[in-house]
C-alpha cells in the first residue's frame, strides 16, 4: 500500500451512501465548509456527477466506488480514502438499503444483505478509522445515519428496523470504546425524508403515511445534512454516544389520531365528589 497522502487544510470527510439523497447532501454540506470530501457508493454516473459538483466549492473531492455488502471492501475503505487524501477526520456511515419484504417471505440471503450493508459495513469502517486515528494519536468523529424504524416496527421492514436498532447500539458501543482515544461517535436518526431514491423507492401512499408529524412536512436531505455537520463539528465536542432524533416531531407523538372524547365526563370533572367523600 502506498504511504498516506499529507492531509490538506481543513478536515477530510469520508461519506458512504454518498451518491444521492441524504448522503449527497452531507457531502455538499461539508464541501461548503471547505472540507475535503471522499464520496463512496456503488459505481454510478450519480457518484461521478456528485464529485464534479463538489469541486465547485473549491475543496478537493474524490469518488471511491465500493460495494459495502463485501466485507473486504468495507474493511479496506478507510485505508483507501487515506491513500487518496490523508486519514479521514470524519466518517459518516450513510449507506443503507430498505427492500420492503413481509417477514413471512423473508429469505436468509436478503436478511443478511441488509445487515451486511446497514450494520456490518459501519462496524468495519468505524473500527478501521479508530485504528488509524489511535495509531496517529489524533481525534476524530463518526456519525451513523440510523432511522426512526429503530424504535417502531412497521410492515415489511423487520430486517431494516433490526439493522437500524443494531446500528444505534453499535453507536453507543463505539462511543464507549473509542472515546478514550478522542474519537466521538454519534448517530442522527431521520424521520421520513424526501429523497426520490432509485435504490430505496417508496410509493406515494407510503410517503404520505409516514410524513405525518407535528411540523406537517417530510424532511429534506439538507435538514439532515446540517445536523450531521454540527454533530461532527467542534460545537458538539462533548457529545458522544448520542442519537439525535430529527423527524419533525414524529417520535414525540402523532397528530394523525382524531379527538376521541366529546368533553369531560361527570367523573372526570369531579361531579359527585362531595357525596362520595361524605
- Active-site residue set: 160
User: Which residues are bridge partners to 144 per DSSP?
Assistant: 93, 187
Q: E-strand spans in the chain?
A: 12-16, 36-41, 61-65, 90-93, 140-145, 183-190, 243-246
**Cα(15)–Cα(143) distance, rounded to whole angstroms?**
10
**Cα(150)–Cα(171) distance, rounded to whole angstroms?**
13
Task: Please state, in angstroms and as integers, the Cα–Cα distance from residue 66 to each residue in 113, 163, 228, following that order.
Answer: 15, 20, 22
The closest of 145, 239, 238, 223 to 188, measured between CA atoms, is 145
**Cα(169)–Cα(77) distance, rounded to whole angstroms?**
22
- Grid cell 475503505 is found at 77
Quick one: 67 exposed, middle or buried, by C-beta within 10 A (0-12, 13-18, 19+)?
Answer: middle
Task: Please state, in angstroms and as integers, the Cα–Cα distance from residue 254 to each residue in 50, 161, 191, 219, 246, following that order.
Answer: 36, 20, 13, 16, 15
Amino acid at each position: 500500500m502506498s504511504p498516506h497522502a499529507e492531509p490538506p487544510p481543513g478536515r477530510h470527510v469520508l461519506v458512504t451512501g454518498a451518491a444521492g439523497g441524504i448522503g449527497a447532501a452531507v457531502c455538499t454540506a461539508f464541501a461548503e465548509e471547505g472540507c475535503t470530501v471522499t464520496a463512496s457508493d456503488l459505481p454510478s454516473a450519480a457518484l461521478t456527477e456528485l464529485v464534479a459538483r463538489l469541486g465547485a466549492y473549491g475543496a478537493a473531492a474524490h469518488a471511491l466506488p465500493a460495494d459495502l455488502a463485501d466485507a473486504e471492501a468495507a474493511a479496506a475503505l478507510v485505508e483507501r480514502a487515506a491513500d487518496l487524501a490523508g486519514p479521514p477526520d470524519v466518517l459518516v456511515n450513510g449507506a443503507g438499503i430498505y427492500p420492503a419484504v413481509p417477514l413471512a417471505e423473508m429469505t436468509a440471503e436478503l436478511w443478511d444483505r441488509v445487515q451486511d450493508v446497514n450494520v456490518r459495513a459501519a462496524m468495519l469502517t468505524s473500527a478501521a478509522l479508530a485504528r488509524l486515528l489511535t495509531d496517529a494519536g489524533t481525534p476524530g468523529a463518526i456519525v451513523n445515519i440510523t432511522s426512526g424504524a429503530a424504535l417502531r416496527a412497521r410492515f415489511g421492514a423487520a430486517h431494516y428496523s433490526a439493522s437500524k436498532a443494531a446500528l444505534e447500539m453499535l453507536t453507543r458501543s463505539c462511543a464507549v470504546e473509542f472515546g478514550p482515544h478522542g474519537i466521538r461517535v454519534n448517530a442522527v436518526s431521520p424521520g421520513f425524508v424526501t429523497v426520490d431514491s432509485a435504490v430505496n423507492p417508496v410509493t406515494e401512499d407510503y410517503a404520505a403515511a409516514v410524513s405525518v408529524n407535528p411540523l406537517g412536512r417530510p424532511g429534506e436531505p439538507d435538514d439532515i445534512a446540517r445536523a450531521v455537520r454540527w454533530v461532527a463539528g467542534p460545537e458538539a465536542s462533548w457529545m458522544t454516544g448520542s442519537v439525535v432524533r430529527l423527524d419533525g416531531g414524529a417520535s414525540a407523538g402523532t397528530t394523525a389520531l382524531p379527538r376521541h372524547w366529546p368533553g369531560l365526563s361527570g367523573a372526570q370533572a369531579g361531579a359527585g365528589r362531595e357525596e362520595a367523600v361524605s
